[in-house]
Amino acid sequence: MRKLLYLFLIAGLMWGMVVIDLTHSADARVSSSLAPRPPTIVSVKNKVTSSMAPTPTVSQSAASRSHSHRSPLVIALTFDDGPSPVYTPQVLSILQRYKVHATFFCIGEWVHLYPGLVEETFRAGNVIGDHTWSHPDLTKLSSYAVRWQLSSASAAIQYAIGSPPALFRPPYGATNATVVSIASQLGLLQILWTIDPRDWALPGVNAIVNIVLSHATNRSIILMHDGGGDRSETVRALPLIISALQQRGFTFVTVPQLLGG
Protein backbone atom coordinates (compact mmCIF):
# COMPACT_ATOMS: atom_id res chain seq x y z
CA MET A 1 0.00 0.00 0.00
CA ARG A 2 2.81 2.38 0.88
CA LYS A 3 4.49 1.59 -2.43
CA LEU A 4 1.26 2.30 -4.32
CA LEU A 5 0.90 5.63 -2.57
CA TYR A 6 4.51 6.45 -3.34
CA LEU A 7 4.14 5.57 -7.03
CA PHE A 8 1.04 7.74 -7.17
CA LEU A 9 2.99 10.55 -5.56
CA ILE A 10 5.89 10.19 -8.00
CA ALA A 11 3.43 10.20 -10.92
CA GLY A 12 1.99 13.43 -9.56
CA LEU A 13 5.45 14.87 -9.17
CA MET A 14 6.32 13.98 -12.76
CA TRP A 15 3.20 15.84 -13.86
CA GLY A 16 4.39 18.79 -11.77
CA MET A 17 7.73 18.58 -13.53
CA VAL A 18 6.04 18.83 -16.93
CA VAL A 19 4.21 21.92 -15.75
CA ILE A 20 7.50 23.44 -14.62
CA ASP A 21 9.06 22.71 -18.00
CA LEU A 22 6.22 24.43 -19.77
CA THR A 23 6.41 27.51 -17.62
CA HIS A 24 10.13 28.11 -17.73
CA SER A 25 12.34 29.52 -20.43
CA ALA A 26 14.72 27.11 -22.15
CA ASP A 27 17.75 28.13 -20.12
CA ALA A 28 16.01 27.88 -16.77
CA ARG A 29 14.01 24.72 -17.21
CA VAL A 30 14.07 21.85 -14.80
CA SER A 31 15.39 18.65 -16.29
CA SER A 32 12.74 16.00 -16.69
CA SER A 33 15.34 13.31 -17.28
CA LEU A 34 15.84 10.70 -14.59
CA ALA A 35 19.57 10.82 -15.24
CA PRO A 36 20.94 13.42 -12.85
CA ARG A 37 23.20 16.07 -14.24
CA PRO A 38 26.63 15.96 -12.62
CA PRO A 39 26.52 18.86 -10.18
CA THR A 40 29.15 21.49 -10.77
CA ILE A 41 29.46 23.03 -7.39
CA VAL A 42 30.68 26.56 -6.97
CA SER A 43 33.18 27.28 -4.27
CA VAL A 44 31.32 28.92 -1.49
CA LYS A 45 32.06 28.81 2.18
CA ASN A 46 29.10 29.51 4.37
CA LYS A 47 28.24 29.48 7.98
CA VAL A 48 25.49 27.38 9.43
CA THR A 49 22.36 29.46 9.41
CA SER A 50 20.40 27.43 11.87
CA SER A 51 20.32 28.33 15.50
CA MET A 52 22.87 26.48 17.53
CA ALA A 53 22.06 24.62 20.69
CA PRO A 54 23.86 25.57 23.89
CA THR A 55 27.36 24.19 24.32
CA PRO A 56 27.18 20.67 25.73
CA THR A 57 27.84 20.53 29.43
CA VAL A 58 30.76 18.49 30.69
CA SER A 59 29.89 15.64 33.00
CA GLN A 60 31.56 15.73 36.37
CA SER A 61 33.62 12.59 35.98
CA ALA A 62 37.19 12.42 37.20
CA ALA A 63 38.37 12.71 33.62
CA SER A 64 36.37 15.84 32.86
CA ARG A 65 37.35 17.52 36.12
CA SER A 66 40.97 17.16 35.10
CA HIS A 67 40.13 19.19 31.98
CA SER A 68 38.57 21.97 34.06
CA HIS A 69 35.14 22.16 32.38
CA ARG A 70 36.42 22.20 28.80
CA SER A 71 33.68 21.17 26.38
CA PRO A 72 34.27 18.02 24.35
CA LEU A 73 35.37 18.66 20.78
CA VAL A 74 32.67 17.66 18.30
CA ILE A 75 32.71 17.81 14.51
CA ALA A 76 30.30 16.70 11.79
CA LEU A 77 31.05 15.00 8.48
CA THR A 78 28.47 15.64 5.76
CA PHE A 79 28.28 13.99 2.34
CA ASP A 80 26.33 15.52 -0.57
CA ASP A 81 25.04 14.37 -3.96
CA GLY A 82 24.56 10.66 -3.21
CA PRO A 83 23.56 7.97 -3.05
CA SER A 84 26.14 6.51 -5.43
CA PRO A 85 26.28 2.75 -5.94
CA VAL A 86 30.06 3.12 -6.41
CA TYR A 87 31.15 5.47 -3.64
CA THR A 88 28.47 5.44 -0.93
CA PRO A 89 29.24 1.80 0.10
CA GLN A 90 32.94 2.70 0.35
CA VAL A 91 32.17 5.71 2.55
CA LEU A 92 29.86 3.60 4.74
CA SER A 93 32.55 0.97 5.14
CA ILE A 94 35.09 3.58 6.31
CA LEU A 95 32.59 5.16 8.72
CA GLN A 96 31.86 1.74 10.22
CA ARG A 97 35.57 0.92 10.52
CA TYR A 98 36.12 4.07 12.62
CA LYS A 99 32.75 3.76 14.40
CA VAL A 100 31.59 7.23 13.37
CA HIS A 101 28.33 8.51 11.91
CA ALA A 102 27.73 11.23 9.34
CA THR A 103 24.94 13.18 7.67
CA PHE A 104 24.12 12.48 4.01
CA PHE A 105 22.31 15.10 1.91
CA CYS A 106 20.84 12.98 -0.86
CA ILE A 107 19.55 13.93 -4.32
CA GLY A 108 15.97 12.74 -4.85
CA GLU A 109 16.59 11.33 -8.33
CA TRP A 110 19.30 9.07 -6.94
CA VAL A 111 17.25 8.13 -3.87
CA HIS A 112 14.48 7.11 -6.26
CA LEU A 113 16.94 4.89 -8.17
CA TYR A 114 18.72 3.42 -5.13
CA PRO A 115 16.33 3.48 -2.13
CA GLY A 116 18.01 0.38 -0.67
CA LEU A 117 21.34 2.20 -0.49
CA VAL A 118 19.73 5.07 1.41
CA GLU A 119 18.02 2.64 3.77
CA GLU A 120 21.37 0.93 4.42
CA THR A 121 22.98 4.31 5.12
CA PHE A 122 20.18 5.19 7.52
CA ARG A 123 20.17 1.81 9.30
CA ALA A 124 23.91 2.15 9.93
CA GLY A 125 23.13 5.10 12.21
CA ASN A 126 23.64 7.96 9.79
CA VAL A 127 21.23 10.85 9.17
CA ILE A 128 19.61 11.42 5.77
CA GLY A 129 18.96 14.99 4.61
CA ASP A 130 17.23 16.50 1.56
CA HIS A 131 19.42 17.89 -1.25
CA THR A 132 16.53 18.55 -3.69
CA TRP A 133 15.23 16.28 -6.46
CA SER A 134 17.63 17.23 -9.28
CA HIS A 135 20.22 19.63 -7.82
CA PRO A 136 19.16 23.00 -9.27
CA ASP A 137 20.12 26.45 -8.01
CA LEU A 138 17.00 27.05 -5.90
CA THR A 139 17.42 30.84 -6.01
CA LYS A 140 16.69 30.75 -9.77
CA LEU A 141 13.41 28.82 -9.46
CA SER A 142 9.82 29.88 -8.82
CA SER A 143 8.42 29.30 -5.35
CA TYR A 144 6.36 26.45 -6.78
CA ALA A 145 9.46 24.78 -8.22
CA VAL A 146 11.43 25.23 -4.97
CA ARG A 147 8.61 23.57 -3.07
CA TRP A 148 8.47 20.77 -5.63
CA GLN A 149 12.25 20.18 -5.55
CA LEU A 150 12.31 19.86 -1.76
CA SER A 151 9.04 17.98 -1.24
CA SER A 152 9.67 15.40 -3.97
CA ALA A 153 13.11 14.54 -2.60
CA SER A 154 11.62 14.40 0.89
CA ALA A 155 8.95 11.95 -0.35
CA ALA A 156 11.59 9.72 -1.95
CA ILE A 157 13.61 9.72 1.28
CA GLN A 158 10.51 8.92 3.33
CA TYR A 159 9.79 6.00 1.02
CA ALA A 160 13.38 4.75 1.44
CA ILE A 161 13.80 5.06 5.22
CA GLY A 162 10.26 5.29 6.58
CA SER A 163 10.47 8.84 7.91
CA PRO A 164 10.81 12.25 6.29
CA PRO A 165 14.07 14.21 6.50
CA ALA A 166 14.28 17.14 8.93
CA LEU A 167 17.30 18.83 7.33
CA PHE A 168 18.06 20.14 3.87
CA ARG A 169 21.10 21.59 2.13
CA PRO A 170 20.59 23.83 -0.92
CA PRO A 171 22.71 22.81 -3.94
CA TYR A 172 25.78 25.06 -4.38
CA GLY A 173 24.91 26.61 -1.01
CA ALA A 174 22.64 28.92 -3.04
CA THR A 175 19.82 30.12 -0.85
CA ASN A 176 17.65 33.08 0.10
CA ALA A 177 14.83 33.98 2.46
CA THR A 178 12.21 32.46 0.14
CA VAL A 179 14.01 29.12 0.01
CA VAL A 180 14.43 29.05 3.79
CA SER A 181 10.77 29.97 4.30
CA ILE A 182 9.43 27.29 1.93
CA ALA A 183 11.73 24.68 3.45
CA SER A 184 10.56 25.64 6.91
CA GLN A 185 6.94 25.15 5.83
CA LEU A 186 7.96 21.63 4.75
CA GLY A 187 9.60 20.95 8.12
CA LEU A 188 13.14 21.26 6.74
CA LEU A 189 15.92 23.12 8.53
CA GLN A 190 18.67 24.54 6.30
CA ILE A 191 22.18 23.28 7.00
CA LEU A 192 25.21 24.70 5.18
CA TRP A 193 28.84 24.04 6.17
CA THR A 194 31.93 25.65 7.63
CA ILE A 195 34.74 23.69 5.90
CA ASP A 196 34.82 23.07 2.14
CA PRO A 197 37.88 21.08 0.98
CA ARG A 198 36.59 21.21 -2.61
CA ASP A 199 36.87 17.42 -2.88
CA TRP A 200 34.57 17.49 -5.95
CA ALA A 201 37.32 19.32 -7.90
CA LEU A 202 39.78 16.44 -7.34
CA PRO A 203 42.52 18.65 -5.85
CA GLY A 204 44.47 15.61 -4.61
CA VAL A 205 44.08 13.54 -1.45
CA ASN A 206 46.68 15.57 0.47
CA ALA A 207 44.97 18.85 -0.38
CA ILE A 208 41.60 17.56 0.84
CA VAL A 209 43.11 16.26 4.08
CA ASN A 210 45.17 19.40 4.70
CA ILE A 211 42.29 21.82 4.19
CA VAL A 212 40.06 19.91 6.60
CA LEU A 213 42.74 19.44 9.26
CA SER A 214 43.91 23.07 9.08
CA HIS A 215 40.36 24.44 9.50
CA ALA A 216 38.89 21.94 11.96
CA THR A 217 37.60 23.54 15.13
CA ASN A 218 34.96 22.60 17.66
CA ARG A 219 31.50 22.30 16.01
CA SER A 220 32.80 22.49 12.42
CA ILE A 221 30.65 21.04 9.64
CA ILE A 222 32.75 19.45 6.88
CA LEU A 223 31.40 19.34 3.32
CA MET A 224 32.35 16.29 1.25
CA HIS A 225 30.70 14.36 -1.60
CA ASP A 226 29.81 10.68 -2.02
CA GLY A 227 28.06 11.11 -5.39
CA GLY A 228 27.84 13.23 -8.53
CA GLY A 229 31.20 12.32 -10.06
CA ASP A 230 34.59 10.77 -9.37
CA ARG A 231 34.82 10.64 -5.56
CA SER A 232 37.87 8.37 -5.33
CA GLU A 233 39.96 11.12 -3.71
CA THR A 234 37.24 11.70 -1.12
CA VAL A 235 37.23 7.99 -0.27
CA ARG A 236 41.04 7.95 0.10
CA ALA A 237 41.10 11.16 2.16
CA LEU A 238 38.35 10.10 4.55
CA PRO A 239 40.28 7.60 6.75
CA LEU A 240 43.19 10.07 7.06
CA ILE A 241 40.83 12.87 8.13
CA ILE A 242 38.93 10.75 10.65
CA SER A 243 42.00 9.19 12.27
CA ALA A 244 43.86 12.53 12.53
CA LEU A 245 40.88 14.34 14.09
CA GLN A 246 40.17 11.47 16.49
CA GLN A 247 43.80 11.69 17.63
CA ARG A 248 43.24 15.39 18.29
CA GLY A 249 40.33 14.50 20.55
CA PHE A 250 37.41 15.20 18.21
CA THR A 251 34.23 13.14 18.42
CA PHE A 252 32.34 12.78 15.13
CA VAL A 253 28.63 13.51 15.46
CA THR A 254 25.68 13.84 13.10
CA VAL A 255 24.30 17.30 12.37
CA PRO A 256 21.25 16.76 14.65
CA GLN A 257 23.63 15.76 17.44
CA LEU A 258 25.74 18.85 16.73
CA LEU A 259 22.61 21.01 17.01
CA GLY A 260 21.72 19.31 20.27
CA GLY A 261 18.62 17.59 18.90
226 contacts Zn ion (rule: CB under 5 A): no
Q: Which of 80, 130, 196, 199 binds Zn ion (CB under 5 A)?
A: 80
- 131 counts as catalytic: no
Q: How far is the CB of 12 from Zn ion (least distance, A)?
A: 25
Cα four-point dihedral sign 60, 66, 69, 71 = negative
Q: How far is the CB of 21 from Zn ion (least distance, A)?
A: 22
Of 136 and 171, CB closest to Zn ion: 171
Q: How many CB atoms lie within 10 A of CB 93?
A: 12
- List the one residue out of 142, 97, 114, 118 whose CA is nearest residue 243: 97
Return the ∠ at Cα 23 (arms to 22 and 28), rounded to 5°. Answer: 100
- List the one residue out of 99, 104, 56 whose CA is nearest residue 77: 104
Q: Which range of residues in 13-21, 39-47, 120-128, 160-168 is near Zn ion by CB under 5 A?
A: 39-47
Which residue's CB comes closest to Zn ion?
Answer: 80
CB 166 within 8 A of CB 256: yes
- 225 counts as catalytic: yes
171 contacts Zn ion (rule: CB under 5 A): yes
The pairing of strands 220-225 and 189-190 is unpaired
Q: How far is the CB of 228 from Zn ion (least distance, A)?
A: 6
Catalytic residue among 215, 225, 226, 230: 225
Q: Which helix (H) or strand (E) holds 106?
A: strand 103-106
Q: Which of 81, 130, 199, 233 binds Zn ion (CB under 5 A)?
A: 81
Q: Which residues bind Zn ion (CB under 5 A)?
A: 39, 80-81, 171
Q: Which active-site residues does the annotation give? A: 80, 225
